[in-house]
Amino acid sequence: MSAQMANQAELHVIIGTGAVGKHTAHALAALGKRVRLVNRSGKASNLPVGAEVVRGDAYEAASIRRLTEGAAAVYQAAQPDYHEWQAKFPPLQTAILEGVAATGAKLVVVENLYMYGAPNGAPLREESPIRTQTKKGKVRAAMSAELQEAHAKGKVRVVIGRASNFFGPEYMLSGALFFYPAIAGKRANLYGSLDQPHSFTYVPDFGKALAILGTRDEALGQVWHVPNAPAITQRELVRLTEMALGKPVKVAVANRLIMRALGLFDAGARETVEMMYEFEQPFVVDSSKFERTFGLHATPMPQAVAESVAWFKAHPQGAH
């Protein structure tokens, strides 16, 4: 896209430059949109050509309003540190909501599945009941209710994209815990049971799905489970990684007791304990509504794992 065409293109603003924000930027750029990303530093790497990164304070509605003025859609892909969700996540979303409401842009919000609670063997669908018992699940449920109420009252046009546990290029948590150790011949880290079916979301698919939600008006006012490949076990995930690497992968599996012990020294590990039910029982997500409506299907898991291995090989740990 030429500079002149980029200046004339529809503006889409992404709050946050983590893995989800970056992949959303690439998907929007591929659709010919002008992309602006907002973070605290005004710097980010591995972005599409022509994307701009600006410094902003997502906790200040006035900052969000200024940086999203004239945008067709705004994507909330930012979050505080895991152990600070209760204190910081609700005011972050409220500031973004208020800022975007003042501009008239659509608001596309990244969510996970914590609000549903333990599925007890049932597939998770958009209409599944909200019955969480965890701290972070209750935060997510309240935040989602705030968004849906704002849309119902006509305050802001909202669409919600929910993903399962994600992995893939740019997502450094999956890199640090699993892919980098596997590549180095060290023990890759997993949680819970290796033999329960689990739906994983490939981050590039999440970015493509969010770009669709931000550019298709029929998505508005609804919750959408973004496309996931058929559920696999973590043991199968290890096997696919071994196929991509061409060598065996050693695995360390952490249970609740181990995570509680780690949590004595690490706040992130401590916060993980209450969410381990996702890996201790079947955790299967139905994304057929999205696939049926928009025609986007998830990348097959063998391909997604191979692409992830290739990316982390090409981007050594500590080189970013």
Look-up of token digits 């990684």: 241
9 & 143 share domain: yes
Q: Mark residue 115 as left, alpha or beta (left: phi above 0; alpha: psi -120 to 50; beta: remaining).
A: alpha
Residue 306 is assigned to a structural domain of this protein = no
Residue 251 is assigned to a structural domain of this protein = yes
Number of domains comprising the chain: 2
Mean pLDDT of the chain: 94
- Pairing mode, strands 251-254 and 165-167: unpaired
The pTM for the full model equals 0.95
93 & 176 share domain: no
Q: What is the extent of the structural domain holding 16? A: 3-167+198-229+283-299
Distance between CA atoms of residues 304 and 306, nearest Å: 5
Q: Which two tokens stand for residue 128?
A: 């599944």
Residue 316 is assigned to a structural domain of this protein = no
Residue 262 is assigned to a structural domain of this protein = yes
147 & 45 share domain: yes
77 & 225 share domain: yes
pLDDT, average across residues 142-158: 97
216 & 252 share domain: no
107 & 144 share domain: yes
**pLDDT of the residue at 1:** 46
Nearest one of 201, 221, 233 to 126, comparing CA atoms: 221
Nearest one of 79, 104, 75, 103 to 90, comparing CA atoms: 79
pLDDT, average across residues 151-163: 98
Instruction: Quote the distance between the C-alpha of residue 101 and its chain's center.
Output: 23
Instruction: Quote the distance between the C-alpha of residue 306 and its chain's center.
Output: 20
**pLDDT of the residue at 265:** 84
Backbone phi, then psi, for 45, in 5-degree steps?
A: -115, 170
64 & 85 share domain: yes
